[in-house]
Amino acid sequence: MGETYRAAIIGTGGIARTHAGYYMANERVEIVAGCDISDERLTAFCDEREIEGRYADHERMLAEVQPDIVSVCTWNGTHMPLSIAAMEAGARAVVSEKPMSDELGGPMDAVALAQERGVYFVVHHQTRFSPGYNAARKLVAEGAIGAPVGIHMHSGGGLLNIGSHLIDAVRFILGEPAWEYVVGWIQRDTDRFERGSFCEEKTHALVGFAGGHELVVSLDMVDGVKHKHFQLVGPDGVINFDREQATLIDADGAHESLSIEQAGYLDERARWKPSAS
């Protein structure tokens, strides 16, 4: 067995269970502490997993526990300040929940600090590893539909909640190209909140990526319609896809649907070596 890691989780609510599941399934990781402002949630979470360290204050936890890995599983507006606090306390890996932030400054600071300190820092867009997205990525990489690619995504679920996952998935499928331009439109007529952040009712955007790829993403544009429709279109064919599978349609007609399993972030972290230090 290689190096082992001590993990801590800040925010012990719903999605923290998924993070704990990653760590508990990996023999090289031990969860040494949890932190939550709700004593009830903290106790239930830690009792169930026999986690010894229990804290109401993240600063105290980071100082006393000095974890190698920190999961940030709190509400939207706290992701970046807590990720930065974890890096400043010496964490070597930080997995922050999505959305990265509800404003622009924090993410830039967090990425800059991670690069400076050689910290493995990811925003938990775990849906990118879905079998259907993996299959779509493989087909695009093999040139099955040619390039550049146009992507159409229609979905419900809000920009910060589901939209952040979809935009990340598109970058994954295209091989992580940089974005070059965004033409965006949102509507927010109400004071609707989603986990502590103001939340728009409708989003429509065109995102241009390096290589000439263009994403058109439409979220909640038709009231109450939640169905999803995802399509990649290239000069040589079309790929219809969802999280489960991808189906290529080219000059030979419709091919058999593809579905490819892939490991997630913890395996990625285990393979990662810091560039600084």
Binding site for ligand NAD (CB under 6 A): 10-15, 35-38, 41, 58, 73-76, 78, 97-98, 124, 126, 161, 195
* Residue 257 vs 262, nearer CB to ligand NAD: 262
Rounded to a whole number of angstroms, the minimum distance from the CB of residue 205 to ligand NAD is 19
Take residue 27 and report the two structure tokens written for it.
Answer: 């023999």
Rounded to a whole number of angstroms, the minimum distance from the CB of residue 257 to ligand NAD is 24
* Residue 83 vs 247, nearer CB to ligand NAD: 83
- Give a three-class secondary structure readout of the chain: CCCCEEEEEECCCCCHHHHHHHHHCCCCEEEEEEECCCHHHHHHHHHHHCCCEEECCHHHHHHHHCCCEEEECCCHHHHHHHHHHHHHCCCCEEEECCCCCCCCHHHHHHHHHHHHHCCEEEECCHHHHCHHHHHHHHHHHCCCCCCCCEEEEEECCHHHHHHHHHHHHHHHHHCCCCEEEEEEEEECCCCCEECCEECCCEEEEEEEECCCCEEEEEECCCCCCCCCEEEEEECCEEEEECCCCEEEEECCEECCCECCCCCCHHHHHHHCCCCCC
* Residue 57 vs 176, nearer CB to ligand NAD: 57
Pairing of strands 29-35, 5-10: parallel
* Residue 10 vs 20, nearer CB to ligand NAD: 10
Is the separation of the CB atoms in 153 and 243 below 8 Å?
Answer: no
* Residue 166 vs 205, nearer CB to ligand NAD: 166
Rounded to a whole number of angstroms, the minimum distance from the CB of residue 33 to ligand NAD is 12
Rounded to a whole number of angstroms, the minimum distance from the CB of residue 1 to ligand NAD is 28
| Residue 275 falls in which region: left (phi positive, over 0), alpha (psi -120 to 50) or beta | alpha
Rounded to a whole number of angstroms, the minimum distance from the CB of residue 58 to ligand NAD is 5
Rounded to a whole number of angstroms, the minimum distance from the CB of residue 259 to ligand NAD is 20
Residue nearest to ligand NAD (CB): 13
Rounded to a whole number of angstroms, the minimum distance from the CB of residue 131 to ligand NAD is 16
* Residue 68 vs 102, nearer CB to ligand NAD: 102
